[in-house]
Structure 1
């Protein structure tokens, strides 16, 4: 059975072929929006599903309860707490790994494995090798990410310092764990596989190394399905407080889980906020293109109605045109989104060290993509279809009434002297049809705004790194101690050869509360007027820390919903564990993390521990850096040294991976969309003027002069779009910067001459290339056919 197309459907095919360039450009804009929607929602779903499957399969604990030292019998008391399903005690400790030919030791965390079988909580995935043999205290498992970064394999040996004693271990296997998806050294926020390691070894061996026989220093707790975490946390703290409990916390405060959750939330914000921008632009373009087609086909519309086609049938013809373009774009975007999502998912798996990947597309994203595309098409064509309904056959078949240009005024004076005839024609058309020209300029401005926003985000990422490591942090390295030490150690550091300046810090783990809002982090105690590591306001002025009060970073202030004049509660997790009520005195501009700052002397006084420091920032002599680092490493009580250059490289890698990498895709897409918009404007102008331009050729104008009339109009519209695009780009840059900012890092709003200039150059290049394509078509126009076409 052969299906025969109706006359209107055949006309639809011919019309689509005639405007194929414009249709493909609009479909590409729609495809970009759908691609971003499918890709981002797919990535969010993939991360969420993979994370949850990994957590469930390897039984990640719901509650973590660090303690200084508690006898094993306290595990039974923890198990009796209502809502607790399973409890397991373990031993953990810090370690330093000596790598051959490297001055700076690698910080590590040692974690015990049960001696009597698999772990009931926080189990591990054995990627290579075997488990440590029973009774072998020198056999360890090594975190696979660190082993890969350092080129280590099962069978290799490494030297580590644990609890002041140097020991040699044999690596018998490589492991991964949901607890260490995102590995950072204590006190840092930047992941670096090469600078932080995790060692797993038998419980008996690790307990002997840290004097924990018959005891544990961390309890892992799994909850019943209907248990409330807050009630269990309070009960756990009551049980462990007498033993030196350091404050139990839930899974949401586990650093690895926190960072990956922030990544997922950032992707979710982008998935909601970015695609509508592209789909809104596509609706605007559809409106312009189809309205011009309807205006050019007035006579055909009248003939169709005169031959008996109803208003609905004629209107549906143009609606089908818009829907076809939208559906083609949605299909292309869906397929592209699947491919892009799979590619990006592989990046996430490598970055977060998932041992497996549960790639999960969100079926709703396809439905939403198609629905929004159709709505964009309908929204763009609604006004056009109303015009089709209003046209009666008699009115439509008559030529439209001549336009009244009396209000446009006449060109005279200086314009007649400086412009030739083609130039006056260009200017006259702009004066007579300002609304149409404004519509074209608005479309180009929207494309430029996309480019300004994405170039601004790129600059914002770079600015964030430059400010963090060039203005806020002016040290060369950060030294961390195993515990709070006497400030005499600062003078010892300053006397070392190669050390030029030392600035002490006191970092104290706390839970900050303000009303219903809480944040688990640290207070950074610094000297009143620090020089090496500073807090700064939004004008990049260094803040002097007062004798009383706390300074919140801007990210932390948003989390706590607190500002100057408010009072926050700080529950300290070390020492005497006091609960402090501290007024907020200022908000600092933060780019990395969510820190809080206090005057170090005031912090120590509040803790009743005067003259204590937990670390220091140091500035080193370039020539004597290695000597200084070697001397610092051999100092007693040093837990680790972090070179600023290494931290900066790690931050750059973090921002260029994961959801941060999406900005590169969006920048490329913004360029494509910008060209599509400019090309559409050029094609529409050509379609409208082809009759006029052919007439100019017939009466004696050269090809160049005729082309100047068309391209001069395009050039002026493009120039008019540049300042408008710059203004719109400011809002776009602000919106996209906010979408990419998380608690891990904040992207400052960058709106400068370079961003605007780069976007303007992209528009001008797109206009030049589009103009060349249109001129080529103009040179090929058949004058006889063009003159037969109704204006």
Structure 2
């Protein structure tokens, strides 16, 4: 080992505290990069394998009623590989002890063969027998939420008739990874079920003997999906087709894709911030080390080492810290990614897991971390190259104390001697103080942004369920009813107010952009559910125009005044040309709103509603629930508190759970930055502090000289960090937001206070650690250091 390499090891041991703190910051950045990359790759690969193994369809074509012979014509479309017809329908499950019926989707299984498309994974029991018409399989998540096992009996209402069915198996399926009731966005295993029955049973229940109401198609890789969709629609239109759509528009797949996209956005935006902070810290540490070791650099060069060899020595120091942090980050990233994938396995109901790491993430994380650290180090190495042995072996020129400003001198005259030392240190080296302030401000900025995200998630839930939706429950009907039915709902004992709504499925297009969603028709002066602007004021819906939510306007790239082409997928399926009349603020989903009367006129069905929002007396809620349960026109009832709890759980388990990790990471980084600032200041002033001890200063006074500087720097950094965190919160909020939910960048006053307390706590702990070193330092060794 060369002498310089031995010196490198000694230097690393001497600054082990600082090196560990900087390495931890780098490790955190690489950890997030590797963890997010592995998580995204694993979810994507598990989804792909699940879809392939159980043959998930590429195209879904719902229809009112189509004869079985039409399947042969669908199979003859160029590019179509496989066609399967099936029966689906809405159902209600009545469980003992529950006043509200739970919604379900009934799905047929072939009588004589396994499904060629959209197969299921049998997790318990067996499939329904062809001979037993009362046997069903139940979605595993719903069964577990209610403690149902094979052998249990279900009371199910289908097409207005009640059936007693026996559970013989529990199943999972790729098309039901994320299950939501019609008209809802939040998945809740306890409130929505899927029932599999043989075709003969469902055909009898829904009066579809010899017919199907949904066609499933798989297509070739080189086929043209849009051409096939158009051909399918042409064949099914005479039979009441609702519009075929591809897998990308399937509800379950869309939610998973959004979750992966959110993870990808977070993974690409946040880790570079941590790596940039680490590079800045390395620059400060190494630059001050070079300044402190001027004499050693001069001696090294005097003994014949070249500029390149000397510079390479300090560059190795940078690489050792950066590489060590990157390696630790890679290992921890694997563990963290594996743990989070298990969470998503439960969240999205995958029956198996393919954990797969992305090799490129290790290379990227290692390269980026070392590259970022090296970039700051190269700036320092220029000083090493410029130093000649003669100039390096001379101590730097002492600071000129008389250059202090008049204000600084007047302040010092009112201070005691230790305080004057602190002021002189701050005023005579403003560059170093600015660097320390910037580092601590960066740490606080991260903390402020993370606290803002925590508040943003809570704000999204509060505004959605307390401002936009002021009802207690919503009712969905089997088919659109006359608006006069609203009076029947108002007459139910315990109902205090009711508001009608009509929701229709539609494809919205503007230019080349399209979105498969829904239009909500709201009455004038909506009270219980309304469209709101940025200030949360009610938007009065105009006649003949449409109001788009901000996320939907971004998807379509549409502005006020643009004319949308809307292909309605229900009723008579008209195609409408509607101008955009305004933009609404929403934090959940991407809705579109129209005036209820205008929407009904456009559909050619005046005075119709598909559901209602109710506000009820909590003392009579059981009466309201039982009355709604006995109404044959009611397809489902959704309680707002259940939807709110489902959203909260989803935000805590999905990509939103990352905010807790980010908050912990921000705290670690903040401590690392503050601790580094304290250690660097101590390393620079070790001899000065030892001298003060010799001339009679007490240990407390010596510590005050150093820690007073840290206290002033920390306090000055707090407002700067607050401003940085405010702007950083917008970038982080955008990374967490998806089409499913939008997180506002909102940092409450308490958030700034919490971040400031975290920085002050980190400063106090760092100060205590440094003071402990001061108290245990060897005064003689410190005084032997050459000035």
1:617-644: per-residue Cα shift (whole Å, max 9, x none)?
Answer: 0000010011011101111211100000
**Any idea what SS the aligned residue of 1:592 has?**
coil
> Structure 1 residue aligned with 2:273, among 274, 277, 284?
277
Partner residue in 2 for 1:530: 526
Report the secondary structure of 2:637's partner residue.
strand
Alignment deviations for residues 741-761 of structure 1 (CA, whole Å, 9 cap, x no partner): 000000011122111111111
Residue aligning to 1:400? 396
Any conservation in 1 of the 2:412–2:423 contact (CA below 8 Å)?
no
Tell whether 2:758 aligns with 1:765: no
Matches within 5 A, 1:708-747: 708-747=704-743
1:245 maps to which of 237, 241, 252: 241
Confirm or deny: 8 A CA contact 1:519 1:560 kept in the other structure. Answer: yes
CA displacement, residues 628-663 of structure 1 (integer Å, 9 cap, x when unaligned): 111011112111000000000000000001211111
In the alignment, does 2:472 pair up with 1:476?
yes
177, 190, 194: which is aligned to 2:190?
Answer: 194
Matched, 1:363 2:351: no
SS at match of 1:503: strand
Find the residue that maps to 1:440 and give its secondary structure. Answer: helix
5+ unaligned residues in a row in structure 2: which ranges? none
Mapping for residues 43-442 of structure 1, pairs under 5 Å: 43-409=39-405, 414-442=410-438
Task: Tell me by how many angstroms 1:410 deviates.
Answer: 5.0
* Residue-by-residue CA offset, 1:292-347 (whole Å, 9 max, x unaligned): 11111111111111111111111111111111111110111011001001100100
The CA distance in 2 between the partners of 1:492 and 1:410, in whole Å, is: 83
Once residues 603 and 374 of structure 2 are traced to their aligned partners in structure 1, the CA distance between those partners, rounded to angstroms, is 65
Write the distance in 1 (CA, Å) between the matches of 2:414 and 2:172.
75
Q: Distance in 2 between matches of 1:51 and 1:450?
A: 33
Question: In the alignment, which residue of structure 2 is the partner of 1:645?
Answer: 641
Match of 1:593 in 2: 589
Deviation (angstroms), 1:412: 6.4
Q: For the residues of structure 2 that align with 1:566 and 1:209, how far apart are their CA atoms?
A: 45
In 2, Cα distance between equivalents of 1:542 and 1:419? 59
Deviations 1:98-121 (A, max 9, x none): 010100110000000001111000
Q: Using the TM superposition, name which of 766-775 and 394-403 deviates more.
A: 394-403
- Is 1:547 aligned with 2:551? no
Q: Partners of 1:566 and 1:120 in 2: how far apart?
A: 44
Q: Is the 8 A contact 1:691 1:790 kept in 2?
A: no
Matched, 1:506 2:494: no
After TM superposition, the score normalised by the length of structure 2 is 0.99
- Root-mean-square deviation (CA, aligned residues, Å) is 1.0
Q: How far off is 1:790 after superposition?
A: 3.3
| Cα distance in 2, alignment partners of residues 416 and 432 from structure 1 | 13
1:750 maps to: 746
Kindly indicate whether residue 573 of structure 2 is the aligned counterpart of residue 577 of structure 1: yes
Determine the C-alpha separation between the residues in 1 that align with 2:65 and 2:254.
Answer: 26
| CA distance in structure 2 between the aligned counterparts of 1:127 and 1:742, rounded to whole angstroms | 32
- Equivalent residue number for residue 617 of structure 1: 613
- Structure 1 gap ranges (5+): none
Q: Which residue of 42, 49, 53 maps to 2:38?
A: 42
Q: Is the 8 A contact 2:455 2:748 kept in 1?
A: no
Normalised by the length of structure 1, the TM-score is 0.99
* CA separation of 1:426 and 1:491: change in aligned 2, threshold 3 A: same
Q: How far, CA to CA, are the matches of 2:277 and 2:428 in structure 1?
A: 26
Q: For residues 342-393 of structure 1, what are the alpha-carbon distances to aligned partners after superposition, in whole Å with 9 as ceiling and x for unaligned?
A: 1001000011110000001100000001101110221120111111011111
C-alpha distance in structure 2 between counterparts of 1:356 and 1:295, whole Å? 57
**Cα distance in structure 2, aligned partners of 1:409 and 1:487:** 79
Deviation at 1:546, TM superposition (A): 1.3
Match of 1:454 in 2: 450
Q: 1:124-183: CA deviations, max 9, x gaps?
A: 000000111112110000000101111001111110000000000000000000000001
Q: Structure 2 residue aligned with 1:491, among 487, 504, 507?
A: 487
Deviations 1:699-736 (A, max 9, x none): 22221111111111100000110011011101211111
| Cα distance in 2 for residues equivalent to 1:774 and 1:69 | 78
Distance in 1, matches of 2:412 and 2:163, equals 92
